[in-house]
Amino acid sequence: MYAKTFALGASIVLSVAACATTTSPTGRTQYVGAVSQAQLEQMGAQAFAEAKAANPQSKDSGQTAYVGCVIRAVTAQLPAPWSGVRWEYLLFQNDEANAWALPGGKIGVYTGIFKVAKDQDELAAVIAHEIGHVVSRHHDERITRQVYAQTGLGVAGALAGSRYGDAAQQTTGQLGGALLQGAFLLPNSRAQESEADVVGQELMAKAGFDPEGAVALWRNMAAAGGGRPPQWLSTHPDPASRLRELQARAAGLTPIMQAARKQGHTPRCR
């Protein structure tokens, strides 16, 4: 009975989500539009300000300039409307090997990334991947899916409560949340990560960086990653599969890199 109730709520979610669809850079159907672009940019600016307040900035001017050089080279190759964005970045003193990009042109890089990004091509792979999430509208997509998921779960819980009582409503919420997380939200996250790989690797090649750098980067990431959860509960693709796909694309992107360099796009960040 609970499964039927949850299925009804899920069907409501999907019918509502179908009213706002778009196509991603790789041709995947996306559900977007729960918030406006202006709201997304405001959220990005707020998150960036909070990160700035919570984390110390690196005092290494050389590393900061290095990161900025790579970011400028990558963002210079973005198509409209992203080409008109003023990209702002900060290098945070943090041992975590991480970086992120937010709507509105905000980029955060942690000094720990240098443990796995050994040269400018590998750093460009990180930066381009994170920017790939922004230009692919992944933040919009994730927020929209979460809004619709919570809406559907609320509907399912209310239906269960009205028919079977408060205990059923609570159980529906607990079970439904687990189902949504495992079968609705996390698989989308894996799709987004794979898509950011595709978009980012092409973007770095257009900027004149060697697309093989993405392969080296994620090989370093996998080596440093240690234990990981089962793939069906992971928000990232399987490392071995990811490396194979990056490697397969690199050869096809090499001519793009070479053409970019002939046009004068030869990054010399370090």
Catalytic residues: 130
Contacts 24+ apart (CB under 8 A), 27-35: 28/191, 28/195, 30/137, 30/140, 30/141, 31/141, 31/144, 31/145, 31/148, 32/137, 32/140, 32/141, 32/144, 33/140, 33/144, 34/140, 34/143, 34/144, 34/147, 34/148, 35/140, 35/143, 35/144
SS3 state of residue 23? strand
Instruction: Give every strand in the sheet of 106-110, ordered side by side.
Output: 88-92, 106-110, 99-102
Residues 189, 142: contact at Cβ < 8 Å? yes
Looking up tokens 């707020």, which residue turns up? Answer: 46
Looking up tokens 């709507």, which residue turns up? Answer: 103
Cα separation, 47 vs 50, in Å, equals 5
Cα separation, 236 vs 192, in Å, equals 9
Cα separation, 103 vs 167, in Å, equals 41
Cα separation, 233 vs 189, in Å, equals 10
